Amino acid sequence: MEKKHLIGTIFTLGSLPVAEMISGAGFDWVMIDMEHSVLSLEDVQRALPVFGNKILRIVRVPCNDETWIKRVLDTGCDGIMVPMVKTRQDAEKMVLASKYPPAGQRSVGLTRAHGYGASFSEYLAGANSDLIIMAQIEHAEGVQNIDSILNVRGIDAIFIGPYDLSASMGLPGQVQHPEVIMAIRNVKNKCADAAMPYGIFASGPEPLRQEIDDGCRYILCGVDSSLMSSSLRDLSDRLHKMIQ
Protein backbone atom coordinates (compact mmCIF):
# COMPACT_ATOMS: atom_id res chain seq x y z
CA MET A 1 0.00 0.00 0.00
CA GLU A 2 1.29 3.47 -0.86
CA LYS A 3 2.24 5.52 2.19
CA LYS A 4 -0.01 8.44 3.04
CA HIS A 5 2.89 10.52 4.39
CA LEU A 6 6.45 10.53 3.06
CA ILE A 7 9.11 11.66 5.51
CA GLY A 8 12.15 13.39 4.02
CA THR A 9 15.18 15.57 4.69
CA ILE A 10 17.46 17.91 2.69
CA PHE A 11 20.85 17.02 1.17
CA THR A 12 23.23 19.93 0.50
CA LEU A 13 26.77 18.89 1.40
CA GLY A 14 27.54 16.69 -1.58
CA SER A 15 29.26 14.14 0.66
CA LEU A 16 28.67 10.59 -0.53
CA PRO A 17 28.92 9.14 3.02
CA VAL A 18 26.24 11.65 4.09
CA ALA A 19 24.05 10.50 1.18
CA GLU A 20 24.59 6.92 2.29
CA MET A 21 23.63 7.78 5.87
CA ILE A 22 20.45 9.55 4.78
CA SER A 23 19.51 6.61 2.59
CA GLY A 24 20.05 4.18 5.46
CA ALA A 25 18.24 6.25 8.09
CA GLY A 26 14.74 5.22 7.03
CA PHE A 27 13.62 8.35 5.17
CA ASP A 28 11.09 7.95 2.36
CA TRP A 29 12.44 10.78 0.24
CA VAL A 30 15.26 13.28 0.00
CA MET A 31 15.31 16.76 -1.48
CA ILE A 32 18.68 17.28 -3.17
CA ASP A 33 19.05 21.04 -3.08
CA MET A 34 20.78 22.81 -5.96
CA GLU A 35 19.14 26.16 -5.17
CA HIS A 36 20.67 26.89 -1.76
CA SER A 37 23.91 24.91 -1.90
CA VAL A 38 27.09 24.57 -3.94
CA LEU A 39 26.01 21.21 -5.38
CA SER A 40 26.96 20.74 -9.03
CA LEU A 41 25.33 18.46 -11.58
CA GLU A 42 28.28 16.14 -11.11
CA ASP A 43 27.67 16.08 -7.34
CA VAL A 44 24.01 15.21 -7.94
CA GLN A 45 24.79 12.47 -10.44
CA ARG A 46 27.37 10.90 -8.10
CA ALA A 47 24.98 10.97 -5.14
CA LEU A 48 21.96 9.43 -6.90
CA PRO A 49 23.26 5.84 -7.06
CA VAL A 50 24.46 6.13 -3.45
CA PHE A 51 20.94 7.04 -2.36
CA GLY A 52 19.76 4.07 -4.42
CA ASN A 53 16.22 3.13 -5.34
CA LYS A 54 14.78 2.70 -1.85
CA ILE A 55 14.43 6.45 -1.34
CA LEU A 56 12.61 8.94 -3.59
CA ARG A 57 15.18 11.40 -4.97
CA ILE A 58 13.80 14.86 -5.79
CA VAL A 59 16.22 17.54 -7.01
CA ARG A 60 15.39 21.18 -6.42
CA VAL A 61 16.69 22.94 -9.51
CA PRO A 62 18.38 26.36 -9.13
CA CYS A 63 15.61 28.16 -11.04
CA ASN A 64 12.73 27.72 -13.46
CA ASP A 65 14.95 27.35 -16.49
CA GLU A 66 14.54 24.92 -19.39
CA THR A 67 18.25 24.08 -19.57
CA TRP A 68 18.57 23.42 -15.85
CA ILE A 69 15.43 21.28 -15.78
CA LYS A 70 16.56 19.24 -18.78
CA ARG A 71 20.04 18.62 -17.43
CA VAL A 72 18.83 17.71 -13.94
CA LEU A 73 16.22 15.25 -15.25
CA ASP A 74 18.91 13.67 -17.41
CA THR A 75 20.80 12.67 -14.25
CA GLY A 76 18.19 10.00 -13.57
CA CYS A 77 16.54 11.54 -10.51
CA ASP A 78 12.96 10.64 -9.62
CA GLY A 79 11.69 14.16 -10.06
CA ILE A 80 12.28 17.85 -9.59
CA MET A 81 11.13 20.70 -7.40
CA VAL A 82 11.00 24.09 -9.11
CA PRO A 83 11.35 27.14 -6.85
CA MET A 84 9.43 30.41 -7.00
CA VAL A 85 6.45 29.37 -9.10
CA LYS A 86 4.39 32.57 -8.95
CA THR A 87 2.06 32.45 -11.95
CA ARG A 88 0.26 30.12 -14.31
CA GLN A 89 2.89 31.01 -16.92
CA ASP A 90 5.66 29.89 -14.53
CA ALA A 91 3.86 26.59 -13.99
CA GLU A 92 3.32 26.03 -17.71
CA LYS A 93 6.98 26.78 -18.42
CA MET A 94 8.06 24.24 -15.78
CA VAL A 95 5.82 21.49 -17.14
CA LEU A 96 6.80 22.09 -20.78
CA ALA A 97 10.48 21.80 -19.88
CA SER A 98 9.87 18.57 -17.93
CA LYS A 99 7.77 16.59 -20.40
CA TYR A 100 8.77 14.96 -23.68
CA PRO A 101 6.67 15.83 -26.76
CA PRO A 102 3.78 15.96 -27.37
CA ALA A 103 3.08 16.90 -23.72
CA GLY A 104 6.09 19.22 -23.53
CA GLN A 105 9.34 20.22 -25.17
CA ARG A 106 12.02 18.34 -23.23
CA SER A 107 14.78 17.41 -25.65
CA VAL A 108 15.98 13.83 -26.04
CA GLY A 109 19.57 12.73 -25.51
CA LEU A 110 21.61 9.73 -24.39
CA THR A 111 22.02 10.22 -20.65
CA ARG A 112 22.31 8.46 -17.33
CA ALA A 113 18.52 8.60 -16.89
CA HIS A 114 18.11 5.65 -19.27
CA GLY A 115 21.44 3.92 -18.72
CA TYR A 116 23.14 5.86 -21.54
CA GLY A 117 20.84 4.24 -24.04
CA ALA A 118 20.47 0.77 -22.53
CA SER A 119 16.83 1.41 -21.54
CA PHE A 120 16.19 4.30 -23.91
CA SER A 121 12.76 3.25 -25.22
CA GLU A 122 11.45 2.16 -21.84
CA TYR A 123 12.51 5.42 -20.19
CA LEU A 124 10.99 7.63 -22.87
CA ALA A 125 7.75 5.66 -22.75
CA GLY A 126 7.28 6.22 -19.02
CA ALA A 127 9.12 9.44 -18.19
CA ASN A 128 6.16 11.79 -18.67
CA SER A 129 4.02 9.83 -16.25
CA ASP A 130 6.66 8.51 -13.84
CA LEU A 131 8.64 11.63 -12.99
CA ILE A 132 7.37 13.75 -10.09
CA ILE A 133 7.09 17.45 -10.88
CA MET A 134 6.72 19.71 -7.83
CA ALA A 135 5.89 23.41 -8.01
CA GLN A 136 7.15 25.39 -5.05
CA ILE A 137 4.78 28.05 -3.75
CA GLU A 138 6.95 30.35 -1.66
CA HIS A 139 5.90 33.87 -2.61
CA ALA A 140 2.81 35.96 -1.92
CA GLU A 141 2.21 36.20 -5.67
CA GLY A 142 2.13 32.41 -5.90
CA VAL A 143 -0.47 32.29 -3.14
CA GLN A 144 -2.53 34.89 -4.97
CA ASN A 145 -2.39 32.84 -8.19
CA ILE A 146 -2.73 29.39 -6.64
CA ASP A 147 -6.03 28.61 -8.42
CA SER A 148 -4.58 29.17 -11.90
CA ILE A 149 -1.37 27.32 -10.99
CA LEU A 150 -3.34 24.28 -9.85
CA ASN A 151 -5.19 24.28 -13.17
CA VAL A 152 -1.98 23.55 -15.09
CA ARG A 153 -1.88 19.89 -16.15
CA GLY A 154 1.31 18.00 -15.42
CA ILE A 155 2.01 19.21 -11.89
CA ASP A 156 2.18 16.28 -9.48
CA ALA A 157 2.55 18.14 -6.17
CA ILE A 158 2.75 21.57 -4.59
CA PHE A 159 5.51 22.31 -2.10
CA ILE A 160 5.04 25.20 0.31
CA GLY A 161 8.12 27.21 1.33
CA PRO A 162 7.20 29.03 4.56
CA TYR A 163 10.43 31.02 4.95
CA ASP A 164 10.59 32.66 1.53
CA LEU A 165 6.83 33.15 1.70
CA SER A 166 7.17 35.04 4.97
CA ALA A 167 9.93 37.19 3.45
CA SER A 168 7.78 38.04 0.42
CA MET A 169 5.07 39.22 2.82
CA GLY A 170 7.47 41.57 4.63
CA LEU A 171 7.72 39.18 7.58
CA PRO A 172 11.07 37.42 7.02
CA GLY A 173 11.44 34.33 9.18
CA GLN A 174 8.13 34.89 10.98
CA VAL A 175 6.59 31.64 9.79
CA GLN A 176 4.18 31.57 12.75
CA HIS A 177 2.83 35.06 12.06
CA PRO A 178 -0.98 34.93 11.63
CA GLU A 179 -0.80 36.38 8.10
CA VAL A 180 1.76 33.78 7.01
CA ILE A 181 -0.24 30.98 8.59
CA MET A 182 -3.37 32.23 6.81
CA ALA A 183 -1.56 32.28 3.45
CA ILE A 184 -0.28 28.75 3.96
CA ARG A 185 -3.74 27.59 5.02
CA ASN A 186 -5.17 29.05 1.82
CA VAL A 187 -2.72 27.05 -0.32
CA LYS A 188 -3.43 23.87 1.65
CA ASN A 189 -7.18 24.31 1.28
CA LYS A 190 -6.88 24.93 -2.46
CA CYS A 191 -4.72 21.81 -2.82
CA ALA A 192 -7.30 19.77 -0.92
CA ASP A 193 -10.10 21.07 -3.17
CA ALA A 194 -8.07 20.15 -6.26
CA ALA A 195 -6.99 16.75 -4.84
CA MET A 196 -3.38 17.90 -5.27
CA PRO A 197 -0.78 16.44 -2.87
CA TYR A 198 1.26 19.04 -1.06
CA GLY A 199 4.44 19.19 0.99
CA ILE A 200 5.96 21.58 3.49
CA PHE A 201 9.26 22.16 5.30
CA ALA A 202 9.96 22.70 9.00
CA SER A 203 13.30 22.88 10.79
CA GLY A 204 12.14 20.46 13.50
CA PRO A 205 9.54 17.70 13.95
CA GLU A 206 7.18 19.48 16.36
CA PRO A 207 5.63 22.00 13.92
CA LEU A 208 4.94 19.15 11.51
CA ARG A 209 2.45 17.40 13.79
CA GLN A 210 -0.39 19.58 12.55
CA GLU A 211 0.73 19.17 8.94
CA ILE A 212 0.53 15.40 9.28
CA ASP A 213 -2.95 15.72 10.78
CA ASP A 214 -3.94 18.01 7.90
CA GLY A 215 -2.92 15.39 5.33
CA CYS A 216 0.42 16.74 4.13
CA ARG A 217 2.01 14.09 1.90
CA TYR A 218 5.61 15.29 1.52
CA ILE A 219 6.98 16.01 4.99
CA LEU A 220 10.42 17.66 4.86
CA CYS A 221 12.46 18.24 8.00
CA GLY A 222 16.04 19.24 8.65
CA VAL A 223 19.10 20.02 6.51
CA ASP A 224 22.21 17.83 6.59
CA SER A 225 24.57 20.75 7.31
CA SER A 226 22.36 22.14 10.09
CA LEU A 227 21.84 18.72 11.67
CA MET A 228 25.58 18.09 11.73
CA SER A 229 26.36 21.58 13.03
CA SER A 230 23.80 21.41 15.83
CA SER A 231 24.94 17.93 16.86
CA LEU A 232 28.57 19.06 17.02
CA ARG A 233 27.68 22.16 19.06
CA ASP A 234 25.59 20.06 21.43
CA LEU A 235 28.45 17.60 21.91
CA SER A 236 30.93 20.41 22.49
CA ASP A 237 28.63 22.11 25.01
CA ARG A 238 28.12 18.89 26.94
CA LEU A 239 31.86 18.19 27.08
CA HIS A 240 32.69 21.71 28.21
CA LYS A 241 30.12 21.46 31.00
CA MET A 242 31.81 18.27 32.20
CA ILE A 243 35.17 19.98 32.68
CA GLN A 244 33.95 23.20 34.27
Contact predicate 30/41, CB 8 Å: no
Contact predicate 208/201, CB 8 Å: no
Contact predicate 13/225, CB 8 Å: yes
Q: How far apart are CA 135 and CA 58, in angstroms?
A: 12
**96 Rama class: left (phi>0) / alpha (psi -120 to 50) / beta:** alpha
Q: How far apart are CA 66 and CA 102, in angstroms?
A: 16
Q: How far apart are CA 78 and CA 93, in angstroms?
A: 19
Give the ranges where 146-195 is alpha helix by DSSP (H).
146-150, 162-168, 178-193
Neighbour count for residue 225 (Cβ, 10 Å):
15
Catalytic: 36?
Answer: yes
Q: Which of 5, 36, 139, 177 is catalytic?
A: 36
Q: Which residues are catalytic?
A: 36
